[in-house]
Amino acid sequence: MLTLDKFEEASEVVKRVTQETKLVYSDYLSTQTENKVYLKPENMQFTGAYKVRGAYYKISTLSEEERSRGLITASAGNHAQGVAYAAKCNDVRAVIVMPTTTPLIKVNRTKSYGAEVVLFGDVYDEACARAYELAEEKGYTFIHPFDDLAIATGQGTVAMEIFKELPLVDYILVPIGGGGLATGVSTLAKLLNPKIKVIGVEPAGANCMQASLKEGKVVTLDHVNTIADGTAVKTPGSKIFPYLSENLDDVIAVEDEELVVAFLDMVENHKMIVENSGLLTVAALKHLPVKNMRIVSILSGGNMDVITMSSVVQQGLILRDRIFTVSVLLPDKPGELSRVSDVIAKQNGNVIKLEHNQFVSINRNAAVELRITLEAFGPEHKKQIIVALHQNGYKPKAVRTIM
């Protein structure tokens, strides 16, 4: 059972392997939402995520016989690293089954903690099925990523730390994938203060908890589609579902585009790298219909590969109208490109890329297409540049930006 005594015990146990992640007050997000917003930066943990809490506490509850058999789990990222690191700290063998599509950097980090990695299947569900098979064949002790009360207790230590720093917190926003973190946080929060509102947040493309709560039972989605890979779960945990049903006040689903913009905000305004799943609670802030409340957003992790990071930054700039593309038609004769450039320069626009298409018309003297990708300060500056091009007779047309 998830009791206050167990949470207190877990809080002392996980101190051995966790770094202190003190709340960070966000002037930017507070101003944007007219609330007092604090960030709980679990992305700053040694393994890059909160998952080490549940893994380490779970191992502490195992018998010597269970440990001696070795541990096995399935994960594409944060849980893998959490179990691998916790097992290393306890001098216990760990086998991690990861999908073959797992980025190499995550595979190598998991191996660096001494775990044996088995690559199997294209998605988590296939890797998990293989982990269960190996547990049966080899006698390993299986450590579930989220559907385990000891795991949820360990994850709930995040809430204990929040209360110690901010006893008068009004709202806690927590990401939801399978529900382990949300179970621990919401249950402990309600034990400490039933008036606290705990809001779960999940991707709109993987809203298994919303669907399950609506039906009053665990529901499996047909498919998931989201850039928040750490929370791309089809089925929430059945063992923990009763706790979530009782203790969550609401669940918000956010679109992928909102996560992209949130990533840009975190990098520019807080100098923090937070993975897409960890940004769910930041994106959800604008969906809360409240003012003047003390709100904590849990940033669950920061494990993001550089290629994904680059793509998200580019898309964020495009969504914020800081990068945009216009198409203009102009005669194919000397000096036209210079004249267009002069108009843009006078508006302080910065040209990133030019594409000159001479085959848009059979009459090149009448018209060729010039696609201009520009950097601007935001929507107003973009509008200013487009108006200037109109005023100079170029009839610009906004087109999709492809970087």
| 6 in active site | no
Strands 36-41 and 24-25, by their bridges, are antiparallel
Q: Evaluate whether 237 touches 217 at the Cβ level (below 8 Å).
A: no
Q: Residue 18: which of 67, 86, 73, 112 has the closest Cα?
A: 86
Catalytic residue among 51, 106, 190, 197: 51
| 51 in active site | yes
End-to-end CA distance of the chain: 52
Strands 36-41 and 350-357, by their bridges, are unpaired
Nearest-Å Rg of the Cα atoms of the chain is: 25
Catalytic residue among 11, 26, 277, 300: 300
How many whole angstroms separate alpha carbon 71 and alpha carbon 58? 11
Measure CA 30 to chain center: 20
How many whole angstroms separate alpha carbon 49 and alpha carbon 199? 20
Consecutive H or E run containing 386: helix 379-391
DSSP 8-state code for residue 42? G
Q: Give the DSSP letter string of 131-160.
A: HHHHHHHH-PEE--SSS-HHHHHHHTHHHH
Catalytic residues: 51, 300
